[in-house]
A and B are shown apart, each in its own frame.
Chain A
Amino acid sequence: MLVLTRRSGQSIRIGPNVEVRVVRIEGDRVVLGIAAPRHVAVVRAELVEQVSGEVRDASDARARLRIMLMPRIVGPNSGSAGDATDDDPGIA
């Protein structure tokens, strides 16, 4: 890993289109400003881990969700759920 030392107000460039600037330093927190093209996803690393965990949780919950959906699928109100259209697909 490349390690660089920067002061407040200084920046680094990553490739031709991405700039990361140290906006300010507050105690043990560093406030960064990031300029990047719109198609470049800029997210906190921990958010990637959280999304990954949620994806796995959702897979584990699929059978449970199907059971929770069953009353609507086979119940007296199921007819309205099947009336979804492109304009108003609805949760159910």
Chain B
Amino acid sequence: MSQSQVAAEIDFPDGLVGLPALIRHRLSAVPDTALYEIVSNDDPTIGFIAAAVDNVKPGATEVLLERGLISEGEWVLAILAVHGEPPAVTANLAGPLVIDMEKATARQLIIEDPNFPLQAPVSEAG
């Protein structure tokens, strides 16, 4: 299964940062984009749009691998948000989601590094 075709039930055993009770989520690809949607099965009002972290910050996965924060084969997604006026899309690189598709589990990291900002600007190629 490729990342662009993914649709899976994913557990975050520790929940998300600030939302520890939200364990079960559904991960799916947003049609006709390279983005993903993660929606809580525990509270369907909570959900996110996310992008592969390397698309926001090329080489980020390699850095996280070198630091021992992720393992080979794990996916790393950055949650997207909208900030500012005019509205701009930002990616949360300080709190990326790390997904082990084989185990269908995930966790959220917190990265203490100015190169992994909370609101990294996302430049979109039309």
Contacts and interface: CB of A to CB of B under 8 A. Distances in A.
Contacts of B109: 41
B34 A50 contact: no
B18 A53 contact: yes
A50 B35 contact: no
A51 B110 contact: yes
Nearest to B126: A77
A77 B32 CA distance: 10
Contact of A55 (B30, B95, B122): B95
Nearest to B2: A86
Interface stretch (A8-16, A24-32, A62-70): A62-70
In which size bucket is the chain A interface?
35 or more
Interface in A49-85: 49-59, 61-62, 64-66, 68-69, 72-73, 77-78, 81-82, 84-85
A86 B34 contact: no
A82 B112 contact: no
A84 B68 contact: no
A84 B54 CA distance: 14
B17 A86 contact: no
B55 A47 contact: no
